[in-house]
Chain A
Amino acid sequence: DAGVIQSPRHEVTEMGQEVTLRCKPISGHNSLFWYRQTMMRGLELLIYFNNNVPIDDSGMPEDRFSAKMPNASFSTLKIQPSEPRDSAVYFCASSPPGREETQYFGPGTRLTVL
């Protein structure tokens, strides 16, 4: 099993640009989570999908952030326009049916907004 796949691994962009982060969950998993990790705030849950439907997006910081899951094998997290304070490591995680507490994390995408 390849595990959770995230791309890109590193992204450097300029303020105001659109950024799209991608995630492929583990096959057969039906829950997908997006997290953001910063030194100041630690690891925070941004949004949680179950069966491709957003269940809880209360952690999404503002309207500049949006997430989609068009099918069971792909999700995107988009930031438009990006700001320097969005610089962080973004993690995607997936979990199997009925086991949302058992999350398998991807390697993360390190985003730097200049």
Chain B
Amino acid sequence: KQEVTQIPAALSVPEGENLVLNCSFTDSAIYNLQWFRQDPGKGLTSLLLIQSSQREQTSGRLNASLDKSSGRSTLYIAASQPGDSATYLCAVNGNQFYFGTGTSLTVIP
């Protein structure tokens, strides 16, 4: 069974700092990997989707990379803002979706 791990579980950074969130998975036979954002009391919002044939995707200040052979993905957030505070989840899509437990990010003004 696919196992998805996210490190760190929680992260606190000052505003303006660049940061990296990590996601690792055990089975490289995936169709794609997706990063989500979850705000308290709300559902998930899809941030970036990387197909298995791609190496990275960018959207604004966000950049996600995928190294399928090593079972790793990173989400890079540039120039962090207090509004980025949320829980970030990665999900790998193989035969079904497998989610990590998330990284709780706090950006301090």
Tell me whether A45 and B46 are in contact (CB under 8 A). Answer: no
Task: Tell me whether A27 is interfacial, beta carbon within 8 Å.
Answer: no
Task: Tell me whether A49 is interfacial, beta carbon within 8 Å.
Answer: no
In whole Å, how far is B96's beta carbon from the nearest beta carbon of chain A?
5
Interface size of A by CB at 8 A reads 21
Stretch at the interface among B12-20, B56-64, B70-78, B98-106: B98-106
Interface size of B by CB at 8 A reads 21
Tell me whether A42 and B102 are in contact (CB under 8 A). Answer: yes
Task: Tell me whether B23 is interfacial, beta carbon within 8 Å.
Answer: no
Tell me whether B44 and A42 are in contact (CB under 8 A). Answer: no
Tell me whether B43 and A91 are in contact (CB under 8 A). Answer: yes
Tell whether A45 pairs with B44 under 8 Å between CB atoms, given A101-B49, A102-B49: no
Task: Tell me whether B26 is interfacial, beta carbon within 8 Å.
Answer: no
In whole Å, how far is B35's beta carbon from the nearest beta carbon of chain A?
12
Which residues of A sit under 8 angstroms from B49, Cβ to Cβ?
101-102
